[in-house]
Amino acid sequence: MALLEINNLSIAVASQGQLLPVVTDCSFSVAAHETLGVVGESGCGKSLTALAIMGLLEGSQVNITSGSIVFDGRDLLQLRPAQRRAIMGNQMAMVFQEPMTSLNPVYRIGEQITEVLQQHRKITHRESRQRALELLDLVKIPHPQDRIDSYPHQLSGGQRQRVMIAIAMACEPALLIADEPTTALDVTVQKEVLDLMLDLQTRTGTSIILISHDLGVIAETCDEVAVMYRGRIIEKATTASLFANMAHPYTRGLLASIPTIDTDNDWLQAIPGRVPGIDEKVNGCPFHPRCAHTETPCTQTAPRLIDTHPHHAVRCHFAGEI
Amino acid sequence: MLGYTLKRLLTLIPTLLVASILIFLFVHLIPGDPASILLGDSATPEEIASLSAHMGLDRPLWQQYLVWFKNVLHGDFGQSIFFKTPVLEVIADGAETSICLALMTMFWIVLIGIPVGIVSASFHGSWVDQITSGGAMLLASIPTFWLGLYLILIFSVGLGWFPSSGFPSISDEGGLSNLRYLILPSLTLAAPNAALIVRLVRASMLDVSREDHVRTARAKGLHPARVSIKHVFRNALIAVAAAFGFTFAALVSEAVVTETVFSLPGIGRLVVQSILRRDYPVIQGVILLIVLLYLVINLLVDLAYARLDPRVSLQ
């Protein structure tokens, strides 16, 4: 059984008395010790899906309208708030996109790490500080002994993201959700942080959901990939199959838009147009206004997710043909 | 921290110097002179002139200023023209009332303003928030004198719970229970300021609650109340601390009205009466002390600011 199973999850945002769908009928699963990559442009619903799994949509304008999130055999959406909180930061943890603002500026980083330990473990102050030092060492912060009493503003972006990872890994979660963990970092630091997460994964066996808009990152790190567009999964496959049998025009567009130095292109390849706003209605296939292969059926009926290969599903009328 | 404090204390000197000149000039700009007020309507011009000369009021203003300033530097604020006693003694007589009133007012502001602000922010958009925010708006708009008179009408005249005026010293018979004389005045004085603190706490907490680090705190599985106090309120306090400096300035001017309404023997009423009596030395002394107090309180606010926000470094 998979560690996490998302079944037909739909999310909508309440706006001026109506519910606008932002994630529609989304299903995927994450096996224990595996890494799932979720790819897509900004505004495609990846972050909202992550926040929904984590339980951070409570109290916002965004609501889960249907579906289930089964984690370790329990449907998280049926749990009482206290039961849900017992999982958050404990069996399931999250690293966010913005390391510069994700730590509280008024507390020392040691305090921010021990806080989560003291929330979920019966542990003395001394022990939790000792554990915080180990964690800082684990995420390769140099001289943890000196750094533990620093304030966030005294650390660089990369170091802050390492501290965020230390907080997330403090209780050795079964699932780590990383929402664009390297996007806000310098390119040189990006690889280090990514390697660190993979290293921690091999040590602790945690599953990872890695959200990114960078197919290159996904190719290097993930076992399976889900590509999202406008709140729907439009292609889902093992990483090997995705790159071998890439079928959806959108996925291909994403791959083509990664600049390479070996081809002699003057122009950066881009997918034409933009992701339509959530209040704009698109009939038929949601991608058809931007697709180079649009034909009559695309503008009329929305395609279903169909298996083209083993462990490879595509939501396109012409999957396998184009 | 210590070096910064000393440096700030040194910068008080030029500020106080300028303030003393302004105060002296403004006080002497008030029409009417002390001699004619002291002698009454029946005095002849000769009598007034000789008394003025006796008090040194016939000399050029700059000479009067220099004499006064030199004495102030020696800790001598002069003699009250009306009481015929040293100004510092006159001020000391009113100080007990004013200090007790100020402390009690601050007590209400903190005790009411902060918790109500937290509740208002925590339930923002709900009926609880509507009531507290609306109530705060109402209290902030009511003039002090009006609120004071109505409190007297209801709680002194109507219910008879609290005395309506005066304040016997707490060293007199009755001791600390004499503080009950200050309950209505301090509530009057606290109301508009507590209301501002309520609105400020609410607004800053709502601002902070939208910040990313609050999401991190929630992702740790902390109880919402803990997130609210430890991560939202604690950070909102930075903005609230800055407001206490302004609150103090408001208290000084509102205390003048409140002490008059409740006939309290405090410094606020002393200033008003001294202006009516053209008691120059008292007016100058009190205002200079208020300026000093204001500067010191703002220094304390800045020091508190640096304690609350580790990103602020004092240099």
Nearest to A141 by CA among A118, A110, A105, A117: A110
pLDDT at site A317: 83
The pLDDT of residue A99 is above 80: yes
Closest residue in A to B213 (Cα) is A102
Element housing A322 (H / E): none
State the Cα–Cα distance between residues B116 and B133, nearest whole angstrom: 9
| pLDDT 10s digits, A101-134 | 999 999 999 999 999 999 999 999 999 999 999 9
Q: Which of A101-115, A168-182, B21-35, B133-147 has the lowest mean pLDDT?
A: B21-35
Tokens of A68: 């289930």
The region, left, alpha or beta by phi > 0 then psi within -120 to 50, assigned to residue A177 is beta
Asked if B221 and A88 come within 8 Å (Cβ–Cβ), the reply is: yes
A287 pLDDT more than 70 = yes
Tokens, residue B257: 């009205």
Residues B131 and B256 in one domain: yes
| Residue of chain A with shortest Cα separation from B238 | A106
Asked if B211 lies within 8 A of A101 by C-beta distance, the reply is yes
Q: Does A167 contact B216 at a Cβ distance shorter than 8 Å?
A: yes
Which is higher by pLDDT, A144 or B247?
A144
Looking at the partner chain, which of A88, A102, A104 has a beta carbon nearest the beta carbon of B235?
A104
Mean pLDDT within A5-14? 91
Q: What is the percentage of chain B residues whose pLDDT exceeds 70?
A: 98
B311 contacts A105? CB cut-off 8 A: yes
* Distance in angstroms (rounded) separating the CA atoms of residues B186 and B259: 10
**Interchain contact, A85 vs B223, CB within 8 Å:** yes
Percentage, residues of chain A above pLDDT 70: 96
What pLDDT, on a 0 to 100 scale, did the predictor assign at position B12? 85
B16 part of a folded domain: yes
Indicate the residue among B73, B96, B117 that finishes a domain: B73
Q: Is residue B252 part of a domain?
A: yes
* Average pLDDT score over residue span A93-107: 92
Q: Are residues B164 and B218 in the same domain?
A: yes
| pLDDT bucket at A262, cuts 50 / 70 / 90 | low
In 3D space, the residue among B247, B250, B252, B209 whose CA is nearest the CA of residue B230 turns out to be: B209
Residues 6+ apart with CB under 8 A from A118: A125, A128
Structural domain total, chain B: 2
CA–CA distance, A95 with A181 (Å, rounded to integer): 6
In this prediction, residue A264 has a pLDDT band, given cuts at 50, 70 and 90, of low
Distance, in angstroms, between B218 CA and closest chain A CA? 7
Specify whether B63 is located in the same domain as B93. no
| CA dihedral for A246, A248, A252, A257, sign (positive or negative) | negative
Give A111-116's long-range contacts (Cβ < 8 A, gap of 24+). Answer: A112/A152, A112/A163, A112/A167, A113/A148, A113/A163, A113/A166, A113/A167, A113/A170, A115/B217, A115/B220, A115/B222, A116/A89, A116/A167, A116/A170, A116/A171, A116/B220, A116/B221
pLDDT tens per residue across span B200-221: 999 999 999 999 999 999 999 9
CB spacing of A119 vs B235 below 8 angstroms: no
Please indicate, yes or no, if residue B140 is contained in any of the structural domains: yes
Task: Give the global pTM.
Answer: 0.82
Question: Do B57 and B150 have their domain in common?
Answer: no
Q: What pLDDT does residue B284 have?
A: 85
Q: How far is CA A113 from the centre of its chain?
A: 22
Pair (B236, B280) in one structural domain: yes
With beta carbons less than 8 A apart as the criterion, state whether A205 and A186 touch.
no
Instruction: Answer yes or no: is B314 within a domain.
Output: no
Burial B157-170 (b: 16+ CB within 10 A, else e): eeeeebbbeebeeb
Domain termination residue (choose one: B20, B39, B73): B73
pLDDT tens column, B4-51: 888 888 888 888 889 888 888 888 887 777 777 777 777 778 877 877
Strand order in the sheet with A18-30: A18-30, A4-15, A62-71, A74-75
From A88, A98, A151, residue closest to B220, measured CB to CB? A88
Q: What is the mean pLDDT of residues A68-89?
A: 92
Within a domain: B44: yes
CB contact under 8 A, B216 and A120: no
As a dihedral over the C-alpha atoms of residue B150, residue B155, residue B158, residue B164, rounded to 10 degrees, the angle is -80
pLDDT of residue A71: 92
**Beta strand A312-314 with A232-238: parallel, antiparallel or unpaired?**
antiparallel
| Residue among A287, A309, A302 nearest A236 (CA) | A309
The per-residue pLDDT of chain B, averaged, comes to 85
Q: Are residues B217 and B279 in the same domain?
A: yes
**Amino acid letter for position A134:** E
Q: Is the dihedral of CA B98, B100, B103, B105 positive or negative?
A: negative
Same domain for B68 and B117, yes or no, is no
Give the distance from residue A85's alpha carbon to the nearest chain B alpha carbon, in angstroms. Answer: 4
**In whole angstroms, how far apart are CA A62 and each of A82, A209, B90, B237?**
20, 21, 65, 29
Residues B314 and B2 sit within 8 Å (Cβ to Cβ): no
CB B144 within 8 A of CB B257: yes
Q: In chain A, what residues touch B221 (CB-CB under 8 Å)?
A: 85-90, 116, 119-120
Q: How confident is the model at residue B142 (pLDDT cuts 50, 70, 90)?
A: confident
Residue owning tokens 């951070």: A56
B215 and B172 in a common domain: yes
The pLDDT-based confidence of A265 (bands split at 50, 70, 90) is low
Handedness of CA A74, A79, A81, A83 (dihedral sign): negative
- Asked if the Cβ–Cβ distance from A89 to B219 is below 8 Å, we say yes
According to DSSP, residue B110 is labeled I
Residues B176 and B100 in one domain: yes
B153 with B129, same domain: the answer is yes
Q: What is the mean pLDDT of residues B125-140?
A: 89
Question: What distance in Å separates residue B305's CA from the closest CA in chain A?
Answer: 12
CB A105 to CB B216 under 8 A?
A: no
Q: What is the DSSP string of A58-104?
A: TTSSEEEEEEEEEETTEEGGGS-HHHHHHHBTTTEEEE-S-TTTSS-
Check if B217 contacts A (Cβ < 8 Å): yes
Average pLDDT value for chain A: 87
**Residue whose C-alpha is closest to residue B196's, from B256, B151, B123, B133:** B133
Query: What is the DSSP code string of A156-214?
Result: -HHHHHHHHHHHHHTT--SEEEEESTTTTS-HHHHHHHHHHHHHHHHHH--EEEEEES-
Provide the domain limits for residue B58.
2-73
Decide if pLDDT at B59 tops 70.
Answer: yes
Contact with chain A for residue B313, Cβ under 8 A: no
Residues of A with CB under 8 A from a CB of B: 54, 56, 85-90, 93-94, 96, 98, 101-106, 115-116, 119-120, 151, 153, 164, 167
Confidence of residue A224 (pLDDT cuts 50, 70, 90): very high
Buried b (16+ CB within 10 A) or exposed e, A12-25: bbeeeeeeebbbbb
Check if B309 contacts A (Cβ < 8 Å): yes
Q: For the domain that residue B303 is a member of, what is the CATH number?
A: 1.10.3720.10
Measured between CB atoms, does B210 come within 8 Å of chain A? no
Q: What is the pLDDT of residue B108?
A: 92
Q: At what angle are helices B87-108 and B280-308 packed, to 10 degrees?
A: 40
Cα B260 from Cα B275, distance rounded (Å): 14
Of the listed ranges A276-285, B137-146, B150-159, the one predicted with least confidence: A276-285
C-beta atoms of B221 and A153 within 8 A = no
Establish if B83 belongs to a structural domain.
no
pLDDT at B250: 79
User: Does residue B98 fall inside a structural domain?
Assistant: yes
Q: Verify whether the Cβ–Cβ distance B212 to A116 is below 8 Å.
A: no
B289 & B168 share domain: yes
**Distance in angstroms (rounded) separating the CA atoms of residues A20 and A7:** 20
Asked if B235's CB is within 8 angstroms of A106's CB, the reply is yes
Q: What distance lies between CA B17 and its chain's CA centroid?
A: 21
Please say which residue of B47, B73, B99 terminates a domain: B73
Does residue A167 have a pLDDT over 80?
yes
**What is the share, in percent, of chain B residues with pLDDT greater than 90?**
17
- Is B220 within 8 Å of chain A by CB? yes
pLDDT in tens, B71-92: 888 888 888 878 888 888 888 8
Given a cut of 80, whether residue A21 has pLDDT beyond it is yes
pLDDT tens-digit readout, B222-277: 999 999 999 999 999 988 888 887 787 778 778 888 888 888 888 888 888 888 88
Amino acid at B268: G
Query: Does B64 share its domain with B166?
Result: no
pLDDT of residue B290: 86
% of chain A at pLDDT higher than 90: 43
Return d(Cα B148, Cα B185) in angstroms, integer.
Answer: 7
Order of strands across the sheet that contains A175-179: A92-95, A175-179, A207-212, A35-39, A224-229, A232-238, A312-314, A306-309
> Pick the residue with more confidence: A308 or A12?
A12
In tens, the pLDDT along B280-310 reads 888 888 888 888 888 888 888 888 888 888 8
**Euclidean distance between CA atoms B306 and B53, whole angstroms:** 52
Q: Give B288 to chain A, closest Cα distance, Å.
A: 37
The per-residue DSSP string of A267-320 comes to S----SS-PPPTTS---SSTTGGG-TT--HHHHHSPPP-EEEETTEEE--TTTT
Read off the amino acid at residue A236.
K
CB A132 within 8 A of CB A114: yes
Minimum CA–CA partner of B210 in chain A: A60
Query: Would you state the structure tokens that stand for residue A227, as one six-digit string?
Result: 């590509």
> Could A103 and B216 be called an inter-chain contact, meaning their C-beta atoms sit closer than 8 Å?
yes
| Distance separating alpha carbons of residues B282 and B288, to the nearest angstrom | 10
